[in-house]
Structure 1
Amino acid sequence: MQTMKKKINPLYVVLMLLLVCMTVGCSKQEDASGQSGTSTDDQSNTLVIGAYSVAKDAVGELLPKFQAKWQAKTGQTVHFQESYEASGTQARAIVGGFEADVALLAMESDIDKLVKADLVSSNWKQAPNDGMITRSIVVLGTRAGNPLGIRDFEDLTKPGVKVLYPNPKTSGGAQWDINAIYGAGLKLSEEEQGKKDPAVAKAFLEKVHENVESLDKSGRSSMAAFEYGVGDVIVTYENELLARIAKGVNYDIVVPKNTILIENPAVVVDKYADKHGNRELAEAFVAYLSTPEAQLIFAKHGFRSVDPDVFAETKSSFPTPEGLFDINYLGGWDKVRSTLYSKRGVWYQVLAGL
């Protein structure tokens, strides 16, 4: 007796193969150059980056350059998974389980959250430049031609001036903004009384905040609102305005007499980098961020370089305010957190009208 052979439909075979591929997780992921490559179970060639939103454009230019260097050194193609959020939001996400290998955040206090969660070593500031990869200052952005004649923070207290800055509960940039305004108030009290007076600084912050039009979740969101036409003046990073002007947006930059030096850190998130088996890759990337090549790219995007030679080369674009101060003028981050941003701190008193 002859055995009958059933002819298999080729379309059925293709569909089954697709089903198998979907079941076992065949996938593609994009590398920094926009090309897709097949992912594998080995995470050691995939770098997960959690960054604050303002750094997005600069990081986007840096990734393919690092990728090329890593491939030339190791023969390995590194892929990137990127997340950009307000700095405080990003820090909370990493603490909550977002497994970033590298964190680029707006300020030291957000890195401290990762240290307290046992994700980052407490000695992270032993890196070059105390772990900082960029600097900036808090400035004021106005509409083209500065129609309201804004010259300093004091002008933000005038009736009818509509001010923008983001929410310090979610945004590291906003905390720098609030620190700058509060510190400018302390500077004014020193000029008038010969000593710092926190009451004067609080009253100054209150007057500015009375004119705030909206509190967005991040510095980038605040900038987007300003570009949409909201407000007369934006309190923001100098680099944000320089980057937008470089792209053809017409704003004026006002550098206050008294303002704060911003310092932005980057770290290897030890727990996750070790878990993924890519500590060497993560450390190499963080080290690359401080190289002259990377620092020149940061400068192109409006950041002040932490490399003395690069800063000397680019300093004509970055004026130094007469009364520039740093976080230590306010007592350091621990004091700032307790004085300004604790549940009964100055900022929350201002919000509550106390």
Structure 2
Amino acid sequence: MRPSFVLTFLLVLGIAGMAPAEETGKRGEASIIPAPTLLVADGLNTDGSLVKHYRRGLDYAIDYFGNYGPYYVYLLSSDSENSVRQIYLQRAKNRINRNSKISTAEEQVDEFLKRHNVINEIKAVLAGKAEGGLTWTQNPPILYEDVTTNAKGREKDPLENTWGALHEYHHVFQMAHCDTKQSRSSDKHINSWMAEGMASYSSAKFMENLGLINFEDYMLKLKKSGGNIGRPGINEYVAQHPNWQLKNEAYWEEGGSAQIYYMLGAWATAYLIHVKEVKEVVVLKEWYFDIPKLGKSAAFKKHMGLSLSEFYQEFRPFILQPDDKVMQIFKPTRKVQ
């Protein structure tokens, strides 16, 4: 497993000697990318368990997908405002583009710290609000960040801590093979159900591989209750919204993103692996390599064996079947429907 560097920011520790990330060339060139860096705020990880359980997931994901980045993990809390502000200063330094011809390093740091979203995020940290998630830069230096504004919850829940690390790193891999400046409906980017659904499937499957959960039980919970993603589950949602569409990108604003992109997306991933019998590593990993060259639609058809439109037509009647019927796809002796 690749090591992760852990930086704990206490009041007595400075960061002046830390070097910002340099531009790393092409997005996703794993051979020249450093190991992930974890930046942990004062007041967290006093017994080492927060980082231990995060790394349990992160290390597994890197072993599977490869090392992409640079990747910075920010585990924050409201215990020390000075510690939080020192971390955000370092976050700004990590984003410095040394090749910029329009602004100095100091100007870039100042600009980042004055952004409204950054100011509001710091306020959320200091207020103890649980927000955040994966973000990335669109311009050099290309880097990825997993931000948890209140990591107290992660510290108290080792399973969800590991699970979240697995889920977010799959996104790092995904975004490294997409043109993230394009819309989700673009052929150079992946749909939300692919991003969230495949990461939901992979993280649950990897959690089972680590001996932490039962994967089939989890998939059934997505149908019945929504599991650890939200309420309602798939069954209730599709009954109330019969015109749902997996490819529709409007659910982030309209509501229903949890059910469509995460839950149904996870089951769509399961359909490809367990019904269409595409190898798991192809669905979760290998088809992404062709997206930059071929585009999403052609890459999907090449690796999955059917077009996206054909897939949507097949998946809808499948997922609307009773729970005991759809759960048969996980049985070794099942018949492919």
Bigger Cα Rg: 1
Greater RCO (Cα-Cα under 8 Å, separation 6 or more) = 1
More strand by share: 1
Q: TM-score, normalised by structure 2?
A: 0.23
